[in-house]
Structure 1
């Protein structure tokens, strides 16, 4: 299995409505894309203050490398990026196999 972690910093102009729409798109990926096992969406609530402006996270689990390779060029991923990119200030992407 592969974990795909996104740490997200949204533009200040991004509205709650837009971010909620994006959350729904991410959470629908397991039903739409073969190989996406699960998606978790989170908002930073660490008291340490070390998030460097990154406020949200997405944790996706792919069943295997074929699942990741299916997701990356998938039409549903492309549609998600069309909503995501205008809201995005910065992002960190980190994958690992377990």
Structure 2
């Protein structure tokens, strides 16, 4: 399995309805793309103040490398990126195998 972590910093102009729409798109991926096992959405609530402005996270789990490679160019992923990219101030992406 592969974990795909996104740490997200939204533009200040982004409102909660746009974030809710994005969350729904991410959470729909397992039902739309074979090999996407799970998606978790999180909002930073750490009191340590070390998040460097990143406020949200997405944790995706893929069955295997083939599933990740299937997801990356998939039309559903492209549609998600069309909504996502204009909202981003910055993003960190980190993948690892489990």
Q: Please, what TM-score do these two structures have when normalized by structure 1?
A: 0.99
Q: Pairwise mapping of residues 1-98 of structure 1 onto structure 2 (< 5 A)? A: 1-98=1-98
Q: Mind listing any 5+ residue stretches in structure 2 that lack a counterpart?
A: none
Q: Shift of residue 41 of structure 1?
A: 0.1
Q: Shift of residue 21 of structure 1?
A: 0.1
Q: Shift of residue 54 of structure 1?
A: 0.0
Q: Secondary structure at the match of 1:78?
A: helix
Q: Shift of residue 7 of structure 1?
A: 0.1
Q: Shift of residue 32 of structure 1?
A: 0.1
Q: Shift of residue 87 of structure 1?
A: 0.3
Q: Please, what TM-score do these two structures have when normalized by structure 2?
A: 0.99
Q: Secondary structure at the match of 1:9?
A: strand
| RMSD, aligned α-carbons | 0.3
Q: Secondary structure at the match of 2:60?
A: strand
CA-to-aligned-CA distance 1:24-68 (integer Å, 9 cap, x gap): 000000000001000000000001000000000000000000100
Moved over 4 A (4+): none
Task: Name the CA distance, whole Å, in 2 between partners of 1:13 and 1:85.
Answer: 13
